[in-house]
Structure 1
């Protein structure tokens, strides 16, 4: 679909969807959402960009190869389970901390680290599949 309206609206829509995907990721362990849902929204944003401008534009926008993003996300998700093993608890047991930075209390958790890893795995893998399908369609 190469209409002028779609090509004009696609970057704005992509930006809004990426922002919304981060919102869904961050609210995920308190309300519906999380890494998987946020990752699907972000991958859909890149798919829209690919339909409007083609696969090379999406590859430039991502900067890293989608499977590298997915692999890094898997590494981050696995890394989230190590602190619980260090404390003698089962792997991936959720741990929370509330350190004080510059007079503000910051809530941190291994659950959030795991969610970020899942987000990156979903973005990388689904975007890789979408780009492969889009490439094959134009061959």
Structure 2
């Protein structure tokens, strides 16, 4: 399904879906959403882009290998749990702090970094599977 209309619309649709996935990721602390759902939306965006334009443009857009993205996400998630061990608390106990960004207070927590790690794991693993299936289909 590589029609001219689909190939033209796919990059814009992919951009909007990735932006929406980041919104869902960051919204997940107070409302439904989070790293897993946001990662699925982003992986779906890359799958649509792969169907429309092929696998090599998606690999160039991702810049890093999908499994490297997944591995880094696993590292970020596990390191967010290690922070609590240094404070003599059980593993994965949430820690919060406030930082000032341009004079505005921003709440930062280890829960946010755990969600970001889950997001990266889902994007990397699902994108890797989708790209492998798309490559196999055209061989």
Structure 2: state its 5+ residue gaps. none
Aligned to 2:83: 83
Q: Is 1:113 equivalent to 2:136 in the alignment? A: no
**Aligned-pair distance for 1:100?**
3.0
1:14 deviation in Å?
Answer: 0.2
Deviation at 1:82, TM superposition (A): 1.2
The answer to whether residue 93 in structure 2 is matched with residue 93 in structure 1 is yes
In the TM superposition, residue 98 of structure 1 has moved relative to its aligned partner by 1.1
Show the counterpart of 1:131: 131
TM alignment of 1:20-31, pairs within 5 A: 20-31=20-31
Structure 1 residue runs without a partner (length 5+):
none
> In the aligned structure 1, how far is the partner of 2:62 from the partner of 2:33?
23
> Superposed, which structure 2 residues align to 1:30-109 within 5 Å?
30-109=30-109
CA RMSD of aligned residues (A): 0.8
TM-score with structure 1 setting the length: 0.98
Q: CA deviation at 1:101?
A: 4.0
1:103 shift after superposition:
2.5
Name the TM-score, length of structure 2 as normaliser.
0.98
The count of residues paired between Structure 1 and Structure 2 equals 139
CA deviations 1:72-93 (Å, max 9, x no partner) are 0000000101111011111000
Displacement of 1:125 after TM fit? 0.1
| Equivalent residue number for residue 9 of structure 1 | 9
Q: What displacement does 1:56 show? A: 0.4
Q: How far 1:118 moved relative to its partner?
A: 0.2
